[in-house]
């Protein structure tokens, strides 16, 4: 009769002894996901040179989690006939200082890091920033309260404070230990403060769109942390886990490991979601020009035929041909304009006549040899001919009334002037 009643205590329907390995593997997956996301966050912040206090606090939590995980794998359920050394080792591994204290520290560090991450969204002296630092002190007080509640409300058998060996714990209604209620209230109040804070600043204060997105992400991460705390409180205090007696601490610590993993994920959600959003925007920015280029029709510039005559050879111009134009000798200027009826063909014929007159007739004045350059400019077909030598005399001829304007510039120096008193 007694053996039948004690049999369910050693083997629970919730977690049989054969499933401990699977239980550890499942929890390891959660830990790997949390560790990977945390390392990615820290590396990303270090790469962009944006490490701050929240990252340093989270690094402390990551170091505690990595060192705490091998200890969890080293724990084993109690087996009948075990040696005294095995039992002593398991007592050390299940002591309060290697189980509960690291768990509370990791939760406190992740919440402090989450509050500091919320503070860095806002500029200095902003009300939200001051409230975030207030939450940091609140989380420190919660950590201190939970440590005192879990150590002073029960009588320990030794200084190791093994949870399964604690007796005479203060209990409330339905036989629930007082320390469990205090731990749940501390977790719920901390997570609720992280949820209500972004909601208040989201609806109460007008903020830019980018900051509103970050606040919503912060809210989702805090909600995930609260759900993990509620899950732990419901399952850890159930009758199925309590029926394990001495082995319930292994399951209890596994549930705590899941809660800490969710805390890491919720804390890193702000950075990871921001990186994902920026990567998505860069991807869309690369795709958009390709789509636009397929729809855009190429613009063909209108064809323009150049009717100008480009001449870079030396042209002889007599004083009789340019007598009606303006000169500038040491400051004396006389202005005259070309006739409106003169066209490109007239200019060409005039140049040919001047060449003939140069070879067959006599000149009573000096002749000037210049370099004439014609360039096509703009839609009005402006033509400019110049000789690139710094001279002392300049000749300008411009017609603005003709259909196509012409501009000539002749510059001569003493080295280009040939004075002939008689015909050759």
pLDDT digits (tens, 9 = 90+) for 235-280: 877 776 666 666 676 677 778 888 888 899 888 988 888 888 888 8
Say how far apart CA 238 and CA 243 lie, in whole Å: 9
Rounded to 10 degrees, what is the CA torsion of 11, 2, 82, 12? Answer: 10
User: Could you tell me how many helices (H) and strands (E) the chain has, helices first?
Assistant: 11, 7
Most confident among 263-272, 314-323, 347-356 (mean pLDDT)? 263-272
| pLDDT exceeds cutoff 90 at 11 | no
| pLDDT exceeds cutoff 60 at 302 | no
Decide which of 111 and 294 is more confident. Answer: 111
The percentage of residues in the chain with a pLDDT greater than 90, rounded to a whole number, is 17
pLDDT of residue 189: 93
Evaluate the CA torsion angle 127, 129, 132, 137 in order and state its sign. Answer: negative
Query: CB under 8 Å to 414, separation ≥6 — which residues?
Result: 392
Decide which of 20 and 39 is more confident. Answer: 39
Secondary structure letter of residue 300 according to DSSP: P
pLDDT of residue 145: 92
Decide which of 294 and 183 is more confident. Answer: 183
- pLDDT tens for 200-213 read 877 767 777 777 77
Band the pLDDT of 395: cuts 50, 70, 90: very low
Q: Which of 40-44, 141-145, 173-177 has the least mean pLDDT?
A: 173-177
Tokens 């886990």, residue located: 241
Domains of the chain plus CATH, in order, are 18-282 (1.20.1070)
Q: Write out the H or E segment, with its range, that includes residue 58.
A: helix 53-74
Say how far apart CA 134 and CA 130 lie, in whole Å: 6
- Strand-strand pairing, 417-418 and 326-329: unpaired
pLDDT of residue 57: 95
- pLDDT tens for 34-66 read 999 999 999 999 999 999 999 999 999 999 999
Band the pLDDT of 121: cuts 50, 70, 90: confident
User: Which pairs from 207-216 meet CB under 8 Å and 24+ separation?
Assistant: 211/121, 211/122, 213/277, 214/121, 214/270, 214/274, 215/118, 215/121
- Asked if residue 222 lies in contact with residue 194, where contact means CB atoms within 8 angstroms, the answer is yes
Say how far apart CA 296 and CA 87 lie, in whole Å: 78
| pLDDT exceeds cutoff 80 at 108 | yes
pLDDT of residue 93: 84
| pLDDT exceeds cutoff 90 at 141 | yes
pLDDT of residue 181: 87
Instruction: Report, as an integer, the average pLDDT of 71-84.
Output: 70
The DSSP string of 177-197 is BHHHHHHHHHHHHHHHHHHHH
Band the pLDDT of 75: cuts 50, 70, 90: confident
pLDDT of residue 305: 53
Band the pLDDT of 367: cuts 50, 70, 90: very low
pLDDT of residue 64: 92
**What is the value of pTM for the model shown?**
0.61
Residue 180: C-alpha distances to residues 228, 248, 365 (Å): 15, 14, 121
The overall average pLDDT reported for the chain is 69
For helices 248-295 and 53-74, angle between their N-to-C axes, nearest 10 degrees: 130
pLDDT of residue 300: 55
- pLDDT tens for 157-174 read 777 787 767 777 888 877
Instruction: Report, as an integer, the average pLDDT of 355-361.
Output: 44
pLDDT of residue 81: 58
Q: Which of 117-121, 273-277, 316-320 has the least mean pLDDT?
A: 316-320
Phi and psi, residue 301, nearest 5°:
-65, 145
| pLDDT exceeds cutoff 90 at 419 | no
């Amino acid at each position: 009769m007694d053996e039948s009643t004690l049999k369910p205590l050693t083997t629970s329907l919730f977690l049989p002894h054969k499933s401990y390995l699977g239980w550890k593997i499942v929890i390891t997956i959660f830990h790997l996901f949390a560790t990977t996301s945390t390392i990615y966050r820290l590396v990303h912040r270090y790469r962009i040179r944006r490490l701050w206090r929240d990252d340093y606090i989270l690094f402390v939590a990551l170091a505690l989690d990595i060192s705490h995980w091998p200890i969890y794998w080293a724990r084993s359920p109690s087996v009948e006939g075990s040696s005294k050394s095995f039992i002593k080792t398991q007592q050390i591994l299940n002591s309060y200082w290697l189980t509960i204290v690291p768990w509370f520290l990791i939760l406190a560090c992740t919440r402090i890091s989450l509050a500091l991450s919320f503070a860095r969204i806002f500029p200095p002296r902003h009300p939200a920033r001051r409230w975030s630092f207030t939450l940091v002190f609140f989380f420190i007080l919660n950590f201190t309260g939970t440590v005192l509640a879990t150590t002073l409300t029960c009588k320990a058998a030794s200084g190791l404070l093994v949870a399964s060996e604690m007796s005479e714990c203060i209990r409330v209604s339905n036989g629930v230990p007082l320390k469990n209620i205090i731990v749940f209230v501390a977790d719920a109040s901390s997570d609720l403060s992280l949820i209500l804070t972004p909601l208040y600043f989201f609806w109460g204060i007008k903020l830019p769109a980018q900051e509103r997105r970050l606040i919503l992400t912060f809210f989702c991460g805090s909600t995930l942390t609260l759900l993990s705390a509620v899950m732990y409180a419901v399952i850890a205090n159930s009758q199925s886990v309590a029926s394990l007696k001495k082995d319930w601490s292994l399951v209890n610590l596994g549930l705590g490991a899941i809660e800490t993993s969710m805390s890491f994920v919720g804390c890193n959600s702000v950075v990871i979601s921001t990186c994902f959003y920026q990567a998505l925007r860069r991807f869309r920015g690369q795709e958009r020009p390709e789509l636009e280029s397929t729809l855009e029709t190429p613009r063909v510039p209108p064809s323009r035929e150049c009717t100008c005559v480009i001449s870079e050879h030396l042209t002889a111009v007599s004083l009789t041909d340019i007598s009606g134009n303006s000169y500038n000798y040491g400051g004396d200027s006389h202005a005259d304009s070309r006739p409106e009826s003169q066209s490109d063909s007239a200019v060409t014929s005039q140049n040919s006549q001047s060449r003939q007159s140069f070879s067959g007739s006599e000149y009573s004045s000096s002749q000037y040899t210049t370099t004439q350059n014609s360039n096509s400019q703009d839609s009005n077909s402006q033509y400019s001919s110049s000789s690139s030598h710094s001279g002392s005399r300049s000749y300008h001829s411009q017609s603005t009334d003709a259909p196509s304007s012409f501009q000539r510039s002749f510059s001569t120096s003493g080295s280009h002037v040939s004075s002939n008193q008689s015909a050759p």
